[in-house]
Amino acid sequence: MQKTIAIVGAGVGGLTLARVLQAHGVAATIYEGEASATTRAQGGLLDIHEETGQVALHAAGLYDEFLALVRPGEDAKRVVDRHGTILFDMPADPGSARPEVDRGELRRLLIDSLAPGTIRWGHKLASLRPCVEGGYELTFATGSATRADLVIGADGAWSKVRPLLTAATPAYSGTCFIEIALTPGGRTHRASVAAIGSGTLMAVAPGKGIIAHRHAEGHVRGYAALTRPEAWMRSIDFGDPSAGLRQVAEEFDGWSPLLTDFVTQSDANPWLRPIYALPAGLTWDRVPGVTLVGDAAHLMSPFAGEGANLAMYDGADLASRLVEQPDTETALTAYEERLFPRSGDAAHRSARNLEIFFGQEAPQSVVTLFAPS
């Protein structure tokens, strides 16, 4: 195909899309609002699923390079109650079909695989409008503009491309995260760190939880999770991080100090991250020359572990349709016919798992989720 392709957003979905297209000799340009690949931290670990994320990496020709990034031993899981009592303890699986990788390292692998100049950093999309002659005009915050025959929104939760397809917007799930971390060389909390085990600790109860991951190099990263209204979030002041974290810790009154230390002694910037989601099973009518991948198409909570995996799979699947089908609209139709059922299923599972983690049956509901049947 000879059409000009604009991908809005340099997350793993947009990057995978561009990589698979380029592997088949099809050029595409990614427009990303951030100034560089290192502008923002990329979060923690991802478990890459055999049936989605790994399929995409094979399609991108990057599977062997991905294996070099895998962090063996970090997929262990431990569930405890608010007193720190171990209810479920699953050791690491050396042959796991869902190996863990660092999100930032995976993104860097994808970025480095692209032809020089593919990503236009510092191009934050301001507006998008159809052109009379076909295609779309993209205008950026800098005032510059370009035209493309095909526009793919890979621009996440608050996508600027999505309104061309649907009026749906993300809604607050009722649960928010506060990032926490303990770094090597800081204060010593050996007992708390030991309580994690070798992978991820999940201390949960109705409406709240403390989840922490122990990295092999010694870092501990995670979050405190609370089911609270949006008004509560506005009441927390992280202008003084220590004071803000103490406010959060008060929500865990009566919990073991081994657990609350992850909050009160955290040395991370305590970002408040409300969990938003698009309606599960979202679809839209075909609009010529535009579609979505990843969170722009199916934002969901992280409790199915599908966000990044589906984003990469979306990108690889869309690229394959475009390469195989000379008619763009036929390709987009085929892609969306596959996108809607798979993303709808994952979104429903994600919403169900969110309730499992913080509903009235927690923590036993989480034990049941992970325990072998």
- Work out the mean pLDDT of the chain and round it to a whole number: 93
Contact 201, 211 (CB under 8 A): yes
pLDDT of residue 185: 59
Q: What is the 3-state secondary structure (H, E, C) of 348-363?
A: HHHHHHHHHHHCCCCC
Contact 247, 239 (CB under 8 A): no
* Those residues with Cβ within 8 angstroms of residue 248's Cβ, 6 or more apart along the chain or in another chain: 178, 224, 226, 236, 263, 270
Q: Residue 220 corresponds to which amino acid?
A: V
The phi and psi torsions of 167 (rounded to 5 degrees) equal -85, 0
Name the CA radius of gyration of the chain, rounded: 21
Mean pLDDT of 316-325: 97
Q: Given a cut of 60, is residue 1 above it in pLDDT? A: no
The phi and psi torsions of 145 (rounded to 5 degrees) equal -145, 160
pLDDT digits (tens, 9 = 90+) for 258-283: 999 999 999 888 888 999 999 999 99
Distance between first and last Cα of the chain? 48
The phi and psi torsions of 319 (rounded to 5 degrees) equal -60, -40
Residue with more model confidence, 139 or 236: 139
Q: Which band of pLDDT confidence, cut at 50, 70 and 90, is reported for residue 187?
A: low
Structure tokens at 217: 């190099």
Total-model pTM: 0.94
CA distances from residue 141 to 22, 145, 151, 364 in whole angstroms, order as listed: 27, 9, 17, 49
pLDDT digits (tens, 9 = 90+) for 241-256: 888 899 999 999 999 9
pLDDT of residue 126: 97
Residue with more model confidence, 140 or 93: 140
Q: Which band of pLDDT confidence, cut at 50, 70 and 90, is reported for residue 186?
A: low
Element counts in the chain: helices (H) and strands (E): 12, 17
Q: Which residue has the tokens 């190099």?
A: 217
Domains and CATH numbers, the chain: 5-71+98-170+278-357 (3.50.50.60), 171-276 (3.30.9.60)
Q: In this predicted structure, which of 23-32, 39-48, 362-371 has the lowest mean pLDDT? A: 39-48
